[in-house]
Amino acid sequence: MVGLSIAFALIALSGPGERAAGLGERAAGLGGASDGVAARAASKGAAATKVEPGLALLAAKVLVCSLEGPMAVDNAVVLVRDGVIVALGDRDEVQIPAGYDVRDLGDLWLSPGMIDLHSHVAMGLNDLSETVFLTNPGMRASVGVVPGYVHMQDAVAGGVTTVLHIPGSATNMGGAGVILRTGGATYEDMLVRDPGSLKLAQAGNPERRGPWFPQRSLMNWNTRDTFRRGVAYAKRWLAHELGGAPKPERDLQFDVFISLLKREAQVSTHTQMAQVVGMTLSLVAEEFKLPVFIDHGTFDGYRVAGRAAELGIIAILGPRQISVPYNRPGFTIDQDGALYGVAERYQAAGHRMVGFNTDAVGPPSSNGPGQEELSLQAAMGVRYGFNNDDGAAVRGVTIVPAIAAGIDKRVGSIEPGKDADLIATKGDPNDPRASVELVLMRGRVIYDTAVDRRRF
């Protein structure tokens, strides 16, 4: 009995020891998402002292990737200035302003940089899976980011320009993820948003956490309890900020819930089995009304796809694009010998907002796909039946994840006003055989096979 109560005490968050105080604490914490605005302002400042000309990119085909509207513009030009897309259109219709550098990409296709919402490659994974407590909403993946990390270079060469770098799933709440550009020499260059998300892993891996090896009932209770505390904390702060209620005591463990409640960050949830995805919908979306998306969606989670569609919960799927029929405790999947494409099943249930992720931890290996294999995830979705007639596979690695993470005003499609994060490929970027030849990040060339050594 004593042992059990110690167990509960340990499970129940890190407790008062982490209460924040002091002058050094950055104000951005309370405001929720810090936008990397300072970094942008700084780079604009630099641009002001050294005026860069605009850039006109000519391509055989441009994949626009906006959620609605035509997918492709043939024989197109994209105008870029100050790191931002200024115009896009047919070469005969869009005038290239005087003074612009022109780069003719010949037969190459131009697409928005790809976005991976389940990535662990901005640093070594060991530092991302702290397992002292079972729920850790106060931890931040941002503390360990290594600019230029080898697998981030692979990401660039594979056309992945934005990643949600998140803690592992060794516990139910690994901490806050951070949204990063994959190129950039410094953290400030890379930062898109911190917190990028709160990482939730409902089941499948946290069971391995010793010494107690929790199972779904206890994990679910403890996760609910953490959500309840966090939401209550955030409501007190919002009541203070908006309604003049007394200033609550600061608790770093729960600050991320302020961002969630303001819908400035989302819960990115490693959720895959039908029962577990069902809990994502009923617990996180319906009971706590927090912004959430299905991440790392695989196995038979498709069985609740219809409900996810009704609730408007975006589904980001991978790294396993198929549900294989088998039967063992925790998984009873009867598909009568057939493989089901997970994305195809979501689509068949009427789900229209399907994206793809890798769960990359390093190079492609038995540990899973490499960061550069995001396009392959979408291709495998198509292989296993996902209808791609309207370009849903490319949208699934661009605009759909951008919307899921709330960064679609800046990235995810080639539209005026968005960051010029662009990739040029030899053909359809959804065809894994099509190599990436050129990558621009905020208008700057960061990978160019015409001059750089190919990474693969």
Partner 1 sequence: MLTSLALFALLSATPHGEVASSVPGEPGGPTLYLAAAKVLTAEWRGPGFIDQGAVIVKDGRIVAVGRRAELAVPAGAVVEDMGDDWLMPGIVELHCHIAGAFGLNDTVYLTNPGLRASSDVIAGNEALDVGMAAGVTTVLYIPGSGTNVGGQGVLLRSGFDHYEDAEVRNPGSLKLAQAGNPERWMLRPNRSLMNWNTRDTFVRGITYAKAWEQFEAKGGDAPVKDPQWEIFRALRKNEAQVSTHTQIYQVVLQTLTTIHDALGIPVFIDHGTFDGWRTGKLVKERGIFAILGPRAIDVPEANMVRWSGSNPERIQGCAAGYQEQGVELIGFNTDSPVIPQEELPLQAAMGVRYGFKNESMQAVKGLTIVPAMAVGLDAEVGSIEAGKSADLLRITGDPADPRCWVKQVWQKGVRTYNAADRRLW
- Residues near partner 1 (CB under 8 A) are 150, 154, 157, 322, 337-341, 362-365, 372, 376, 379-380, 382-385, 388, 393, 430-433, 435, 453-456
Q: What's the CA gap between 159 and 425, in Å, rounded?
A: 8
Task: Kindly state the smallest distance separating residue 376's Cβ from partner 1, in Å.
Answer: 8
Burial (0-12, 13-18, 19+ Cβ within 10 Å), 238: middle
Task: Kindly state the smallest distance separating residue 336's Cβ from partner 1, in Å.
Answer: 9
* CA Rg value for the chain: 22
Task: Kindly state the smallest distance separating residue 226's Cβ from partner 1, in Å.
Answer: 35
Residue among 164, 268, 284, 275 at smallest CA distance from 223: 284
Rank residues 156 and 407 by Cβ distance to partner 1 and give the closer one. Answer: 156
Task: Kindly state the smallest distance separating residue 385's Cβ from partner 1, in Å.
Answer: 7
Rank residues 13 and 342 by Cβ distance to partner 1 and give the closer one. Answer: 342
Task: Kindly state the smallest distance separating residue 374's Cβ from partner 1, in Å.
Answer: 12
Planar angle of CA 101, 107, 109, nearest 5 degrees: 80
Taking CA atoms, 212 is separated from 4, 97, 132, 209, in Å, by 10, 66, 12, 7
Q: Which residues contact 118 (CB under 8 A, 6 or more apart)?
A: 164, 166, 268, 270, 295, 296, 316, 318, 319, 357, 358, 359, 360
Task: Kindly state the smallest distance separating residue 165's Cβ from partner 1, in Å.
Answer: 19
Region of 310 please: left (phi>0), alpha (psi -120 to 50) or beta: alpha
Task: Kindly state the smallest distance separating residue 427's Cβ from partner 1, in Å.
Answer: 10
DSSP 118-184: EE--SS-GGGG---SSSB-TT-BGGGG--TT-HHHHHHHHTTEEEEEE---SSSSEEEEEEEEES--
Q: What's the CA gap between 173 and 103, in Å, rounded?
A: 46
Rank residues 29 and 364 by Cβ distance to partner 1 and give the closer one. Answer: 364
Task: Kindly state the smallest distance separating residue 220's Cβ from partner 1, in Å.
Answer: 32
Task: Please name the residue that has the structure tokens 């200035």.
Answer: 81
Task: Kindly state the smallest distance separating residue 71's Cβ from partner 1, in Å.
Answer: 16
Enumerate the H helices of 17-122 as residue ranges: 28-31, 37-49
Rank residues 20 and 349 by Cβ distance to partner 1 and give the closer one. Answer: 349
Task: Kindly state the smallest distance separating residue 333's Cβ from partner 1, in Å.
Answer: 14
Rank residues 216 and 303 by Cβ distance to partner 1 and give the closer one. Answer: 303
Rank residues 89 and 124 by Cβ distance to partner 1 and give the closer one. Answer: 124
Residue among 189, 167, 175 at smallest CA distance from 41: 189
Residue among 255, 259, 224, 269 at smallest CA distance from 404: 269
Exposure string for 148-163, b = 16+ CB within 10 A, e = fewer? ebebbbbbbbbbbbbb
Rank residues 258 and 438 by Cβ distance to partner 1 and give the closer one. Answer: 438
Query: DSSP state, 6?
Result: H
Task: Kindly state the smallest distance separating residue 393's Cβ from partner 1, in Å.
Answer: 8
Taking CA atoms, 113 is separated from 87, 216, 389, in Å, by 17, 38, 21
As beta bridge partners, residue 323 has 340
Rank residues 297 and 429 by Cβ distance to partner 1 and give the closer one. Answer: 429
Rank residues 329 and 456 by Cβ distance to partner 1 and give the closer one. Answer: 456
Rank residues 415 and 431 by Cβ distance to partner 1 and give the closer one. Answer: 431
Q: What's the CA gap between 96 and 42, in Å, rounded?
A: 28
Rank residues 50 and 453 by Cβ distance to partner 1 and give the closer one. Answer: 453
